[in-house]
Amino acid sequence: MDWLTIALLLFFGLVFLAAEVIFIPGTTVVGLVGFGLLAAGIWFGYRDLGSSTGHILLVGSLAITGALVYWGLRPKNLNRVALTQVNHTKVHDVRHPDVLPGAVGRTLSALRPAGTVLFQDDRREVTTRGEFVPAGSEVRVLGIEHNRIVVELVA
């Protein structure tokens, strides 16, 4: 193999490693292809150009690869691909219900024994203790059992 082919193997190996470290980190396939091209170039360099040239190619490839990894893993470059924003939103905790016992709402559907009730502007799925409640009736929250809102018809 001539020196131009070996140089191209090393060049494209370094290009693939640079692409893996700098532009598309975490894909692994591109990095493995680059590592394979570098290894083949160094091996052919030892085989066809002699051990002294092979040593030079090995040390040069290691130095350039080390510099690429150092440059690609700097915090400034990692911040481009890492999630650095903080999410300050909240999730509704079911242990702290927003519909309290005693709240009054109007049924949007018939409760047989479960259905939908409108409490002010909030639609909630509720259930009764077994009785039928027609749509459009006023109901009162008796309590919250586990994850169910239990209601009764307001008389």
Q: Where are the alpha helices (DSSP H) in the chain?
A: 3-18, 29-49, 51-72, 75-81
- Please state the pTM of the whole predicted model: 0.49
pLDDT at 117: 96
Distances (CA, A) of 62 to 45, 56, 70: 14, 10, 12
pLDDT at 59: 94
Closest listed residue to residue 12, CA positions, set 38, 42, 31, 40: 38
pLDDT at 3: 87
Spans of the chain below 70 pLDDT: 78, 81, 92-96
pLDDT at 96: 65
